[in-house]
Amino acid sequence: MKKIILCLILIGFLRAFIDMPPGWRHKNTLVNANELVYALSAVAKGDTIWLLSEYSGSGLHFLYSENNGFDFSRPLQVLVDQQPVKTLFTHTYPKLVVDNENNLYIVYCTPASPYTVVVIKSPPPWQNWIKKFEYVLPSQPHYIGLICYPPNHLHLIYDFQNNSFPYLWDTHYRYSSDGGNTWLGPFLVPRDTEYTNISYPRIAVDVNENVYVLYHEWAQYYLQIKLRKKLPAGWSNSINFPFQSTGISEQQCVMKGDPSVPDVIHFIYNLSSQNPTSIYYTRYQSGTFFTKQICSNQDTLKGASIDFVVEPNLIKLDAYGTHDDGVWYSTDNGNTWIYEGRQWLVPAFQHFVFGKTKRSRFLFDSYDIYLYFLSNDKELISPYSGATALNSQKHLLREPNTQKLHVIYTMRSDSNDIVWAKSTDGGTTWQPYKIIGHGLYPSSWLNPSGLISVAWYQPGSSNTYGRYREYNYITNSWSNLIWLKWPPGYAPREDEKALLPPVFSIVTTGKRTDNNLTLH
């Protein structure tokens, strides 16, 4: 019975590592700090990614990758006037944006009174941060937001409570057309009803740089969630949002402008009136709203934190909840949604960032003293910049007399993923890759009867074990994982390969060298 229980535990453990949604890498641990660390914001341009975090003791840090997230710099501390930057991140998250010249901007609020909204800027290599905007608030803000529109137009929003009677909340919008050198505003978001509060704003900028603000207008027994568009001479009339009970935390209500069509704004949010909560998508277009419930109360996904990416012909949502987590996507402008699967890997349920590079989408998250990064590379055969795989650990197979290709390689990740991908059109397009195991030095062989054999080895703390799986390309199915015990003291080197017969076995032979070619 004990053996059965141990086997079941082992199977569950292996499945947790193998069953990833299509195209998702396993996580990379970016930081193992000596203090609590929090993932706050991320931005990408091309295949360069910048990640912003805050350490509980030493303030803001950022990392960057120039190869689509496969290698990151060491954490770099953000210093202004040679002093570390600490923020009110437990109340409202700092935001990181980038302009056309790769200048970075960070907006944050100072952590103690006098609470001050600050925008800082640094040119590459991002070691010289200078202040571009400061505004002292009479209170802590509920939210601060910053968007950069090409080439270097900055859109800033924040709210605050006035310190004189009747102590109402207001929301300011400001704008810079020159990278923060000069600013217009503040432009006060107007209230429709006297003595109401205007707070909890969100801001979005569409493809034509139209600015939209979503906000709460509320009093003791009154609440309306409204949308306004910034006009050259003021603001449009307010439009009531379809639901009046969306969550108010930063990741319970997210809005983004459409990258292709002007005056189209996308929203994803939780309904705070529901317990457990559901996740909804709403699209604003031409003065009207379209709403779709993504998951119901009966589904396993009950989102508490959400983020999404909008691309032409694709909206991709990631959500974390008190029970489950997962990825949903829509290819028809949000009209229908498909559940892609769970990541299993990112443990924090409070805050994460979902971003988009030129070639893939990524998640950035934190837990305790760790920062994590994982990515979805559906567009790629190989998720490693400049090579199909690490060193020579890559194999290409072709089904006889067809255009069907199979590639098998080792992916760079914390867990050394063994990856398989398939093309049915001679390599023009590739299906999302699948992680079939973990280890190093895979070898493969194709049997024309319909089987592909793959073997590799996985280092252990005290022993090195072989792994083996078969793929039936007629039924499109993988066998279970088989463990192989190598001979005592044997550890394959990178230049050693195994030739697999139709029925897998290990044959020990000698080796000789002919014309600088080593034969095993």
Q: Output the pLDDT for position 16.
A: 40
Question: Does residue 378 or residue 210 have the better pLDDT?
Answer: 210
Q: What is the largest CA-CA distance in the chain?
A: 92
9-13, 42-46, 316-320, 356-360: segment of lowest average pLDDT: 9-13
Question: Does residue 285 or residue 506 have the better pLDDT?
Answer: 285
Q: Report how far residue 26's alpha carbon sits from residue 418's, in angstroms, rounded to the nearest whole number.
A: 11
15-19, 27-31, 202-206: segment of lowest average pLDDT: 15-19
Q: Output the pLDDT for position 474.
A: 92
Helix (H, G, I), strand (E, B) or coil at 8: helix
Burial of 347 (0-12, 13-18, 19+ CB in 10 A): middle
Q: Report strand pairing: 361-367 vs 370-376.
A: antiparallel
Share of residues in the chain with pLDDT > 90 (%)? 39
Q: Output the pLDDT for position 173.
A: 98
Distances (CA, A) of 358 to 40, 43, 44, 45, 469: 21, 12, 8, 7, 33
30-34, 97-101, 155-159, 250-254: segment of lowest average pLDDT: 250-254
Is the pLDDT score of 234 beyond 70?
yes
Label residue 343 by pLDDT band (50, 70, 90): low
Over residues 429-487, the pLDDT tens digits come to 888 888 888 887 788 888 888 888 888 877 764 556 778 899 999 999 999 888 876 66
* Three-state SS letters, 154-189: EEEEEEEECCCCCCCEEEEEEEECCCCCCCEEEEEC
Is the pLDDT score of 314 beyond 50?
yes
Concatenating the DSSP letter of every residue in 445-485 gives: EEETTTEEEEEEEEE-SS-EEEEEEEEETTTTEEPPPEEEE
How remote is the C-alpha of 207 from its chain's centroid? 22
Q: Report how far residue 43's alpha carbon sits from residue 13's, in angstroms, rounded to the nearest whole number.
A: 33
Are 146 and 95 spatial neighbours (Cβ–Cβ below 8 Å)? yes
The highest-confidence range among 126-135, 296-305, 355-364, by mean pLDDT, is 126-135
125 preceded by cis ω (within 30°)? yes
Token reading at 261: 């069509």
Q: Output the pLDDT for position 13.
A: 38
Label residue 47 by pLDDT band (50, 70, 90): confident
Question: Does residue 458 or residue 157 have the better pLDDT?
Answer: 157
Q: Report how far residue 381's alpha carbon sits from residue 422's, in angstroms, rounded to the nearest whole number.
A: 9
Phi, psi of 10, deg, nearest 5: -65, -45
Q: Report how far residue 148's alpha carbon sits from residue 235's, in angstroms, rounded to the nearest whole number.
A: 20
Q: Output the pLDDT for position 172.
A: 98
Q: Report how far residue 71's alpha carbon sits from residue 30's, in angstroms, rounded to the nearest whole number.
A: 9
Q: What is the mean pLDDT of the segment spanning 67-88?
A: 92
- List the one residue out of 301, 327, 296, 332 whose CA is nearest residue 314: 332
Is the pLDDT score of 77 beyond 60?
yes
Is the pLDDT score of 93 beyond 50?
yes
Are 201 and 172 spatial neighbours (Cβ–Cβ below 8 Å)? no
Q: Output the pLDDT for position 138.
A: 96
Task: Give, in degrees to the nearest 5, the angle at Cα 97 between 96 and 98.
Answer: 135
Are 353 and 307 spatial neighbours (Cβ–Cβ below 8 Å)? yes
Share of residues in the chain with pLDDT > 70 (%)? 77
Q: Output the pLDDT for position 487.
A: 61
Are 87 and 137 spatial neighbours (Cβ–Cβ below 8 Å)? no
Q: Output the pLDDT for position 301.
A: 44
The DSSP 8-state label assigned to residue 332 in this structure reads S
Label residue 140 by pLDDT band (50, 70, 90): very high
Is the pLDDT score of 130 beyond 80?
yes
Are 78 and 63 spatial neighbours (Cβ–Cβ below 8 Å)? no
Q: What is the mean pLDDT of the segment spanning 175-179?
A: 97
Q: Report how far residue 44's alpha carbon sits from residue 357's, in angstroms, rounded to the nearest whole number.
A: 5
Q: Output the pLDDT for position 463.
A: 56
Label residue 198 by pLDDT band (50, 70, 90): very high
User: What mean pLDDT value characterizes the chain?
Assistant: 80
Q: What is the mean pLDDT of the segment spanning 102-129?
A: 96
Token reading at 176: 């810079």
Q: Output the pLDDT for position 484.
A: 75
